[in-house]
Structure 1
Amino acid sequence: MSLAIATARLLLLCCTVLTPLPCLAIPAEGEPFSDLRLNDPQPTTILVRVVGHGAMVLGREVGSARVTITDVGTKQILATGIQQGEAGDQNQIMRTPRLMEEPHYSSRPAATFTATFDLLHPTLVEVTAEGPLAYPASSQRASTTVWLVPGQDMTNDGIVLHLYGYIVQIEYPQSGEPLIAKDDVILRAVVRTLSGALVRPHGDWDSRKIHIYGELMIGERVLERLQLFYNNDRSSFEAPFFVPLSNDAPDGITLRVVAADPSSGNFGVGKAKYPVLTERLPPKKP
């Protein structure tokens, strides 16, 4: 190869390397902010939904849920209030398949808590929820921390807080009702999700997959475990039991109903106490 040809090839290679290429960088954001008043407060909306884990949204039927938003840095409460609306569309929430990025609760109207703040800078907040408010014995609490960025609204599903548990109510005998020793009594209890939907066989919340049982207690000692059966006419779980002697239960008895679903992490307990009276004797014949 001649010196002239080698020199020409070297010059061609240098030109190729030094030629500027078009910029292939991708912008970090889709669209620039239209408002250039960077040091003015920006209205920022946050939407919060409180839902029963594996169930619906906590709405009016169960007294809804209280939501509190607190500035993590200053500990100042920025907003607090009650989630407003209904439990949502059961078919859409429980039975409709969807992609991860698709809304789960907002495709149809469902209860929400909404607040708008005028923010100067990104703010770390704690969002806390407590409910269902109509069932304080079954009330649960959950919280999370999120950044609020000025002008960037959190809409669609918003911040979703999951409350774990069941509403377990002993309907009969009513709490505090005196029971007669040796009587045969039917324990009747209703189990619902925290959003208020009934737990029953073959439903969206299938009781066959949940451990539901009763316990007869004297003090803290379990005297008997009761196997509960579903009564479709009353939409309740029932089991018979014998009231112990008043001498054996001078301070009365306690009935406890447990609903436990380890696979979902939902657990609920209902309790009621009863005084025990001496057994009824047949009237004496004259």
Structure 2
Amino acid sequence: MVRTVGRSCMVMIAGMLAIASLASAEDQPPAEEVLNSPIPTTVLVRVVAHGSLVLGREVGGARVTITDLATGRILATGVQQGEAGDQNQIMRTPRLMEEPRYSSRPSASFSATLDLDRPTLVEISAEGPLAYPAAAQRASKTVLLIPGHDLTNDGIVLHLYGYIVQIEAPTPGEPLIAKEDVTLRASIRTLSGSPVRPHGDWDSRKMHIYGEVVIGDRVVERLQMFHVGLQSSFEAPFFVPLPKDAPDGVTLRVIAADPASGNFGMGQAKYPVLSERLRPKKTP
């Protein structure tokens, strides 16, 4: 009798487990549906000035766009925000190839979480610095994203080449007086806003920095520019041409070129030329 009861209990327990197993299986989606469900995948992008720091809030950051190449659909877009990064860590600290360069200390980045249901080939593009449209550059990379495989640490790094070159004097657009000796002054920085100067991390002695006086579409004079006390300022004197030689005014152009790094920048402004007899009256 005892054996019969024991066997009956075992049969009942086995039946209950089987029913529970069936109920659990019914609650779960089919394996095929699970395998094809979108998986949140984080993509971090960092836009840097080539050979310099990260484009942060000081220069307005950079706009980043992630586009599905197969469909042309924009998956994410936004502005990189944050700091330019630690100069010592980025510029002076030796590291192995796989060690992070930009994320070892806080620095600007753009991050997006995409719901991917398949390996997706995307174009990641960046444009900046946004606060200096005259110096803005664009770069892009094609990257294969795999669902569930996040890109973090330094992330996808996009390098923008160039310099921010701004003419500070004469004030752009102000009239120049014929035959006067005028000083052309310009500031030169990397796209991340770092100053270019002699003996610095961005050494002006290794660059070609010069000014040009342009009339129409012709360069009439090239000016050798010299660094002056301020962090990133360079100057050169020049004589203003006669109005008859520049009836439409002159254009002043400043070039910063570093062929070794591939960074090139230009700033320019146009000025009317007045006869010395038409010198504007000074306001008291």
TM-score by length of 2: 0.85
Matched, 1:47 2:22: no
* Paired amino acid for 2:178: A
Matched, 1:38 2:35: yes
Within 1, Cα distance between the matches of 2:76 and 2:267?
32
Matched, 1:115 2:112: yes
Query: Quick check: 2:180–2:239 contact (8 Å CA) kept in 1?
Result: yes
Query: Quick check: 2:41–2:115 contact (8 Å CA) kept in 1?
Result: yes
Distance 1:151 1:225, change over 3 A: same
Task: Return the offset for 1:234.
Answer: 6.3
1:67-108 per-residue CA deviation (whole Å, 9 max, x = no partner) reads 000000000001100001010000000000000000010000
Task: Return the offset for 1:281.
Answer: 7.5
Within 1, Cα distance between the matches of 2:122 and 2:168?
41
1:277 corresponds to: 274
Task: Return the offset for 1:235.
Answer: 3.6
Paired positions, count? 247
Query: Quick check: 2:196–2:231 contact (8 Å CA) kept in 1?
Result: no
Q: Equivalent residue of 1:190, what SS?
A: strand
Query: Quick check: 2:195–2:231 contact (8 Å CA) kept in 1?
Result: no
1:34-82 per-residue CA deviation (whole Å, 9 max, x = no partner) reads xx94222111000000000000000000010000000000000011000
1:265 corresponds to: 262
Within 2, Cα distance between the matches of 1:140 and 1:273?
23
1:81 corresponds to: 78
Identity of aligned residues (%): 76
> Which of 174, 182, 186 lines up with 1:185 in the alignment?
182
Task: Return the offset for 1:280.
Answer: 3.4
Within 2, Cα distance between the matches of 1:145 and 1:89?
28
Select the structure that is richer in helix.
Answer: 2
Matched, 1:58 2:55: yes
TM-align CA RMSD: 1.3
Q: Equivalent residue of 1:43, what SS?
A: strand
Matched, 1:101 2:98: yes
Structure 2: unaligned runs, 5 residues or longer: 1-32, 280-284
Runs of 4+ in 1 over 4 A off after TM superposition: none
> Which of 164, 170, 173 lines up with 2:170 in the alignment?
173
Within 1, Cα distance between the matches of 2:230 and 2:115?
54
Structure 1: unaligned runs, 5 residues or longer: 1-35
1:137 corresponds to: 134
Query: Quick check: 2:197–2:231 contact (8 Å CA) kept in 1?
Result: no
Listed as ranges, the matches of 1:128-277 within 5 Å are 128-233=125-230, 235-277=232-274
Q: Equivalent residue of 1:101, what SS?
A: coil
TM-score by length of 1: 0.85
Distance 1:177 1:48, change over 3 A: same
